Chains A and B, each alone.
Chain A
Amino acid sequence: MNSELGSTLKRPKRPDKSNHKMESLMGGRRENEKLPFWRRYIFSQDHKVIGIQYGITGLCFLLFGFTLMMLMRWQLAYPGKPLPLIGQFFPETAMISGIMLPEFYNQLGAMHGTIMVFLGVVPLAVGGFGNYFLPLQVGAPDMAFPKLNMVSYWFYFVGGVVMIASFFVPGGAAQSGWTSYPPLADIAPTGQTLWLVGMAFLINSSLLGSLNFIVTTVQLRTEGMSFFRLPFFVWAQFVTAFLLLLAFPPLMAAAVLQLMDRLAHTSFFMPSGLVVAGKVLEASGGGNPLLWQHLFWFLAHPEVYVLILPAMGIVAEIITCNTRKPIYGYKALVYSALFIGFMSFLVWAHHMYLTGMGTKMSAFFQITTMIISIPSVIVLTTMVLTLWGGSIRFNTPMLFAIAFLPMFGIGGLTGLPLGLAAADIHLHDTYYVIGHFHYVVAPGTIFALFAGIYHWFPKITGRRMSETLGKIHFWSSLAFINGIFMPMFLQGLAGVSRRLFDPTQYAHALSTQPLNVFISICAWLLGLAQIPFILNFFGSLFWGRRTGQNPWEATTLEWAAPSPPPHGNFPKPVRVYRGPYEYSAPGRKKDFWPQNALEAD
């Protein structure tokens, strides 16, 4: 397969601008090989190294965010009981002889959300997979702006350090929820300031990254790679980049305003006449706390699709490869992704039905919310129909990718009652919401990310991960993650509010307390279920079976590069002759037909 790459490539007759640009970029890359260690692996400008940096940092933050949650689950299952073994090691500002304080619980809650979304899932899905595979899949030697790419990672890194550091300032980390609603966030301890500063770094990082993704997709597609020959993964990242580009600036503005409220004592979000703890608050007043909610959700709803679109992209790649069939309705999928991207800007206020919103406004947002469910159903449908008539290989990446479908399905469907303002009267801010969005993001997106890791690990490292450990990881994770989130729907229907430090304080929440114990046990078991993955990940780095360029017999361009791809990715520029998913083409011996292979191969 290696030989068919460059040698058969026909030179185009007329000079091609983009090709020249690429070759010069490739030359530049090769010189990079001589760079010292810290320029090659630390402050690297190679999209693959940056992708790995993003991916590893993102995985560490996912583990960290998950650990915060496992601590919270102790308090929820056994409120007021000392945390065994590790409880004594926490300072008195967090736990008193192992018994958690409500301040600390609120910090854990706010930081779990922030870390999982902004420091874990998005960096892994977009910064990690996007950075590594988008240039490869479009046949580019690197991102369009390698320096910006490097800066993007280091902004992210600094943002992460600031967020973690915030645990150690007086008063602890941010504790007003990941949504940071003022006035509570305006009057919260110092940690909130660091949260805002950290967010500013993360927002900058996302902006630089998204610019790079957009320009690379538009400008650096190799010859023959028309838009409708792009793998769906690239489309998903492309739409995601636009969401990041357009949705984050309002949050940046909001973060600056909240910083001003906190540091310069302005009152953008502070109304007049507030009395906190019996004292009139000294603020100029006249602001409106709902302004923050609008600005925040204007980012945070598109952010949901930032979380889910790359996952859909990964799953589409893996399902089509492992069913050995073209994807069903490629164009429908692309148009759905574009439509989802557009509509995601028009649904934000469905998070705010109960703020006193009028019926006309709420009707508008209910309608848009129902409309956005249609393309999501199309995406799920096309992926399931792809299976029809296939020859399905059940390897670990495929198992995770298939599980994504019903898990995302449950997440999407349970969004329906929440999207209806009338049902939201009872379900708003209950555990039903927690169950809903976790189904989308945890067994949904995070399963897709695991699928991506198992699928692309051979490309990144040149070695395969263990299938046995992978399957143990998959089945145990699937069982426990459903054990965590399924009971939350029952709790939500019972009306249990979210963010309760001690759920036994309310009569209606007390009745679901046995479920809390069950959920917590599942959560800790889910933690244990990640051990096979961690072993597999590091073990396979050193002892995994060596693999060739295209172990899954896939068609997209990343498999036309060596494993791992060298600086500059492709030994010679690749040319694309067909769509991304030519599997089992009639009349051909092999059941896959790479995008770059000539007719005769």
Chain B
Amino acid sequence: MQEKYYGWGLPVDVSVHGWQVDQLIVVVHVFMAVLFIGWFSFLIYALIRFRQKPAHQADARARHFKLPTYVEAGVALFEVVLLCAFSFPIFSQARNEFPREDKALKVRVVAEQFAWNVHYPGKDGLFGRMDPKLIKAVNPLGLDPADPAGRDDVTTVNQLRVPVHTPVIVELASKDVIHSFAIPVMRVKQDVIPGQTVRSWFEAKQTGNFQIVCAQLCGLGHYRMRGFFTVQDKDEFRTWFDAETAKKTGQKQP
């Protein structure tokens, strides 16, 4: 069903910001190809031209080639460009330049062997308190029922729904070992380190059904730690979200 998104190279990019990563990858690869083809042609030419021939001796006189120095300098210069024009700003945007919280959807994703627990704060925008001691099969996050902030929280397992054209701030935590939260089509990847909460963000520009990937070996079920990632219309998302919160609050306060 999802074949159209994926092939033998970069997957389709449905994020607002992913083109920058793609552009950098393309620029670096063009640079690598130019360097390699030039260098490799020289190698092959030298191998053919200077192959052993009868009654011919190698020429050992020291000589100095200037070109390699220029190439070296060129490589160094281009690496500075790659760093300053591409990598620093893009990485800084991904790590530091978070969207404003009042305009973004906040969601917490708690990884465990081998599932993604998705936790939306309800209408109040506050996550309920969690306690590892309260974790049970029916309460995989260990949400404290006594905390009013958690009453309207919506939780799902392995299903992350987000509205299109809305920045999403993800708070990542792990219950057990290191996982890595990756959505290839969003050009987002962030290690999830137990004991700390790491934030990441992304914004989708296209609706569809995609997958969340665990990118860090997390045990024998690592290969099937697959989550579903759905980008919906804003209205569609709102309808689903309202229904879920109503269900929660309806159950708790009849």
A residues at B contact (CB < 8 Å): 101-103, 106, 109, 175-177, 181, 183-184, 187, 271-278, 280-281, 287-290, 323-326, 328, 353-356, 358-359, 362-363, 366-367, 370, 373-374, 377-378, 380-381, 384-385, 387-394, 402, 405-406, 409-410, 413-414, 416-417, 420-423, 425-430, 490-491, 493-495, 497-503, 505-508, 510-512, 515, 583-586, 591
Interface residues of B in 31-62 (CB under 8 A from A): 31-32, 35-36, 39-40, 42-43, 46-47, 50-53, 56-62
Q: A374-B75, A507-B2 are in contact. Are A388 and B50 (CB under 8 A)?
A: yes
Nearest CB of chain A from residue B130's CB, rounded to whole Å? 9
Chain B residues with CB under 8 Å of A391's CB are 50-53, 56-58
CA distance A508 to B226 in the complex (A): 11
- Please tell me if the beta carbons of B132 and A275 are within 8 angstroms of each other in the complex: yes
Specify the chain B residue showing the minimal Cβ separation from A375. Answer: B72
When the two chains form their complex, are residues A494 and B7 in contact, meaning their CB atoms are under 8 A apart? yes
Given A102-B221, A423-B21, A389 and B132 contact (CB-CB distance below 8 Å) = no
For A380, the chain B residues whose CB sits under 8 A away are: 39
Contact across chains for B72 and A500 when beta carbons are under 8 A apart? no
Question: Are B63 and A389 within 8 A (Cβ)?
Answer: yes
Cα A117 to Cα B20 in complex, Å, equals 35
Q: Which residues of B contact A494 (CB under 8 A)?
A: 6-11, 184
B53 touches A183 (CB 8 A): no
Question: Do residues A274 and B176 form an inter-chain contact, with CB atoms below 8 A?
Answer: yes
In the bound assembly, the distance between CA atoms of A507 and B80 in angstroms comes to 37
Whether B72 lies near A354 (C-beta < 8 A) is no
Known A-B contacts A271-B195, A423-B28; the reply to A325 vs B60 at CB < 8 A is: yes
**B219 contacts partner chain A, Cβ-Cβ < 8 Å:** yes
A426:B76 contact, CB within 8 angstroms: no
**Secondary structure class of chain B's binding surface, majority of residues:** mixed
Measured in the bound complex, the distance between the Cα atoms of B160 and A247 in whole Å is 43
Are B6 and A507 in touch, CB under 8 angstroms?
yes
Assembly CA distance A358 to B199 (angstroms): 12
Interchain CA distance A486-B14 in the complex, whole Å: 27
A493-B25, A506-B213, A511-B7 known; A420+B82 contact, CB < 8 A: yes
Measured CA separation A323–B193 after assembly (Å)? 52
Residues A103 and B220 in contact, CB atoms below 8 Å apart: yes
Q: How far is the CA of A410 from the CA of B3 in the complex (A)?
A: 30
Which of B83-91, B101-109, B147-155, B235-243 lies at the binding interface? B83-91
Of B6, B20, B224, which is within 8 A of A502 by CB? Answer: B224
Is B194 an interface residue when CB atoms closer than 8 A count as contact?
Answer: yes
Contact across chains for B191 and A356 when beta carbons are under 8 A apart: yes
Cross-chain contact of A426 among B43, B184, B222 (Cβ < 8 A): B184
Residues of B within 8 A of A280 (CB): 132-133, 135
Beta-carbon contact of A422 and B94 below 8 Å: yes
Contact call B175/A275, Cβ cutoff below 8 A = yes
For chain B, which range describes its interface: under 10, 10 to 19, 20 to 34, or 35 or more residues? 35 or more
Residues of chain B in range 177-194 having any CB-CB distance to chain A below 8 Å: 177-178, 180, 182, 184-185, 187-191, 193-194
Closest chain-B Cβ to A186's Cβ sits at a distance in Å of 9
B253 interfacial contact with A, CB 8 Å = no
Return the 5 tightest CB-CB contacts between A and B, nearest first.
A271-B195, A495-B184, A422-B90, A584-B60, A356-B198
Q: Is the CB of A428 within 8 A of B222?
A: no
Instruction: Decide: A423 near B87, CB < 8 A? Known: A354-B189, A359-B95, A583-B60.
Output: yes
CB pair B32 A414 closer than 8 Å: yes
Identify which of B185, B215, B223 contacts A428 (C-beta below 8 A).
Answer: B215
How many whole Å from A455's CB to the nearest CB in chain B? 17
Contact B61 A175 (CB under 8 A): no
CA of A419 to CA of B188 in the docked complex: distance in angstroms?
Answer: 17
**Residues A277 and B113 in contact, CB atoms below 8 Å apart:** yes
A387 contacts B29, CB within 8 Å? no
Q: Which of A103, A271, A387, A416 contacts B194 (CB 8 A)?
A: A271
Instruction: Give the Cβ gap from A514 to chain B, nearest Cβ, in Å.
Output: 9
CA distance A130 to B189 in the complex (A): 41
Decide if B36 touches A410 in the complex (CB within 8 Å). yes
| Nearest A residue to B194, CB-CB | A271
Rounded to whole Å, the gap between the CB of B73 and the closest CB of chain A is 10
Q: Say whether A423 contacts B6, CB under 8 Å.
A: no
Asked if B252 CB lies within 8 Å of chain A CBs, one says no
Q: A272-B195, A391-B52, A494-B9 are in contact. List 14 more A-B contacts (CB 8 A).
A: A103-B220, A177-B217, A183-B177, A183-B178, A353-B91, A356-B193, A373-B75, A381-B71, A384-B39, A413-B36, A422-B20, A426-B189, A495-B11, A508-B185
